Structure 1
Amino acid sequence: MLTTLAIANYRSINTLIVPLARLNLVTGPNGSGKSNLYRALRLLAETAQGGVINALAREGGLSSTVWAGPESISRRMRNGEVEIQGGPRSDVVRLRLGFAAQDFSYAISLGLPPPPLDQSAFGLDPEIKRECIWAGPLYRPASLLVDRAGPMIRAREGRSWDVLAQHTPTFDSLFDQVGSMRSSPEVIELRERIRGWRFYDHFRSDTEAPARQPQLGTRTPVLHHDGRDLAAALQTIREIGEPDVLDDAISDAFPGARIAIDVQAGGLFALAFYQHGLLRPLSASELSDGTLRYLLLIAALLTPRPPTMMVLNEPETSLHPDLLPALARLIIRASKNCQIWVVSHASRLIAALERDPHCNSIVLEKELGQTGIVGQGMLDQPPWRWPD
């Protein structure tokens, strides 16, 4: 489980150190930075997928994503005594992302290449300047296990360092070099852990959505991020997961309802939704957007193969407010098996989740264009140090 998330110089986030628990609820008014926090987490996940540079390019490049305000905001600026203004920078501009856990922690730093920039058509692509993996939650030079500075990657070998690579491309993460780092199992461990993170925010529910159509069914312990294999995922839960919990989750949201999976010719799986008072089951194509999305959330949260972390971005979309307490109970139950993030602005879902004593409520605010956590002072931040 992650204990801390750290972000610096990303969009509206100048510096943000976020304490984490097993169930994390991110809320705040529109424009407070919820989406930026979510996107930073997705960007961090791309480091293990080999796509962090491409992900930044899709956002407009480093110059479009880096914090646009001054390096620091003084007390007089906050009080309105002087205008917001910049000054000589004490450090080079770097987009930094990192997380801490009890066993291994990780940080990455990205910046623009040094001039001249016209040597390549890709001269404006950001470069990976530094990556570090260290033991324990707090960075110390003595706890550093793997250190990437520019093109060179080295790993600790007893009291000395073993150089693993000297010509690593600036657009490749150290996680892309796993084949040459078999002597550093923590790299493989962290890469697979990050690759296991699941993000659910684009469930389709339109008339052409794949979840509404019969699909070829195979065992599906992990629901696809767009929900295309819903029927197979629900049947997998029934066979190798917790079928009683599945039935309870459906009846909790839709009293008297139940589901079945019809196996059609050619191995196609189709969803049948039985509802009290109806003479025949409803097919997935007949379900309302809210009902279909709720079934998708059930399939995601009751996965027989829980990830290290699951992130739900605005799961309340298209759901009737009366469904939100049942969704909260489902999320709280799922948080017993994996770390969960919920990004939401639905007051009823927020209130239901906050009733759980283990819910870590993170309320964001924006002051002078900078995202912060409501009520978090300097002494309230979890301990965190960026590698030098």
Structure 2
Amino acid sequence: MDKPVPPFTFNTTKSVVFGPGKLDDLSTLLASLATGPVFLVTDPGLRATGIIDRAERVLKDAGRSVIIFSDVEADPPEAVILAASDAAKASEASIVLGLGGGSSLDVAKLVAALVPGHQTLSQMYGVGNVTGSRLPLALIPTTAGTGSEVTPISIVTTGAQEKMGVVSPVLLPDLALLDPELTLGLPAHVTAATGIDAMVHAIEAYASASANNNPLSRMLAVQALNLMGQALLRAVTDGSSLSARADMLLGSMLAGQAFANSPVAAVHALAYPLGGHFHIPHGLSNALVLPHVLRFNAVTAPHPYTELAPHLFPDLATLEGQARASAFCDRLAGLSAACGLPQRLREMGIDRATLPRLASDAMNQQRLLVNNPRPLTEADALKIYEAAY
């Protein structure tokens, strides 16, 4: 007799608008959320591309006042988030608009939650700790990787090296606007790293040991991999391909919806110390440990990977069982290499002597490690880092 589907909860962004050129509809879309000043959160690099000027022009042509905060840093520290929220309060903004990569979107989420003044940032850390209302919030991604536009998660760098998460449905925006034209100028190495990051989201969501792993997340993860498996290398080698860019952006969003409800696990837990200690971009950190974590998991939990393998690499359907799971891990490493990403920790200037510290720090990510399909100890983490070295 078949087992019934266990209870689950699925939350996502209220409205998703997708399509080339949709940035031109921004003023109309925001008008349905709020009519006062728009507080736009972004980073200096994106402002230099002209995308921010274009968004500002669309809004100002519609009579909207726009205040731009463009000091977001990668892996944003608390100081940046607090500075942004102070600026938003001073501007009397009626809506927060995040435009950029995952860091800008994460900052925008927290600004929207902080401006009403119900809590301090430190009170929000953890799962389900955001209380009260937030400002209306719209997010526009310019990379196909984090899926932050549809996740209830913001990651903050606390202190010199540690990261902490704010996880709450309150952070889900009112609107996600996905315009693949905005990703056309993304450099190949960023396209590759963010693309692998999105694939990790789908893979870990599908395999998650979370009690909230659910059929919707698994369905979205499969569709995400179907799209991105065909598009990533094309997007890296031909950055002007709008069809590849569109598939990557849509796939990234679907993967974001998947892991927002069926959370990620040890790949992310082992990636975070790499970013904290060595400032390696998050997507690349994931890529460096991905095949090694999956090989560890596949020893006792191969089934998710055998099920996913043909969706990403159709020719692997001819294999079965452990052979297919093992080939899946190898092909993921091969895809990362084909995209031009470094494959070894030593290539990033990491000293082997630091590996025990990385393993110890990875154990601080228990909110992620509990979702891993195979239990993982500090000794296991060290062996994985050594395999990746």
- The structure in which a higher percent of residues are helix is 2
Larger radius of gyration: 1
Shorter-chain TM-score tier:
under 0.3
| TM-score, length of structure 1 as denominator length | 0.22
The TM-score normalised by the length of structure 2 is 0.22
Which is richer in strand?
A: 1
The higher-RCO structure (CA 8 Å, 6+ apart) is 1
